[in-house]
Structure 1
């Protein structure tokens, strides 16, 4: 039974990954307009037709049938070649990911650790005072707060603490122009992590 559960769950994950990869492949090819023209237009100036064609080839958008393009796309994914970034042209996708992966792991890891510590702490206190006011109030209030989408609560906090009161920064990871592993830099990063976490 346990192996069947794992196999079923793994199958669902594979289906989700296949759907995500397929949608990621289809969106730039079936959307109106040409992504190559849009990328070059952002750079400004005249757009040479040969530049458009070479950029379409770099993006993997050719005149070949969709199934041929899809097989090529899957092959590139297996080799770790994710192509050029549409939003940060002309940077490769791997460069964009590697530039932000450390910050994403720091943010996600801190959020996971903090939620574990707060949840476990509240659970211990609620169990310690079982049947008391804490045991009745905290689960109900957490259920109420948990019914709101997280992004909505995050937007409210950003608006209130960052925009209205101005006590916390609403963007970037740090403010210092010369980052170094100093106490000032670590404190600045910690302040910038308060709202996202």
Structure 2
């Protein structure tokens, strides 16, 4: 006799922690079919954030991270973790693509343009990544560095952009680079 199993992925569907049921839209909703599945069949939940899905401790996940880990059947170390580790171990400066870009810019007297998120959202990027790149460029005596900043507003407070831009401006006083443009993530990435 064969037994069937079904994998149901409910993006954005959370199970309320004990004592917090009164704050849950899922608990407040009428979900008779879902409730019958939970009452009558074996089921399980997953941890969808932090090291269990290849992210830093406390970092929330998203559907992309969840699907990647489910599909792989194992924990997949996300690029955020790998990039953070390369910065912490000072290996970022040895990345072949970065080394080649620095060499090209120096040999041809070209500017370097950095494009990316400046927030602490962490799902796709972190402001510390831009800062680390600026420091590597400074250490390589590059002076023409232009940053095209994307404010976030999705993975962090929608009104936090000015604070992160101010933080970056303060940092650049002791590193290298100028903010050349600022746009919202919605327009630049989404």
> Fold-level match, TM-score > 0.5?
no
Coarse TM-score class (shorter-chain normalised): under 0.3
Which of the pair has more CA radius of gyration?
1
TM-score by length of 2: 0.23
When you count strand as a share of all residues, which structure comes out higher?
Answer: 2
Given the two structures, how large is their TM-score scaled by the length of structure 1? Answer: 0.23
* Higher RCO (CA-CA < 8 Å; seq separation 6+): 2
Structure richer in helix, relative to its length:
1
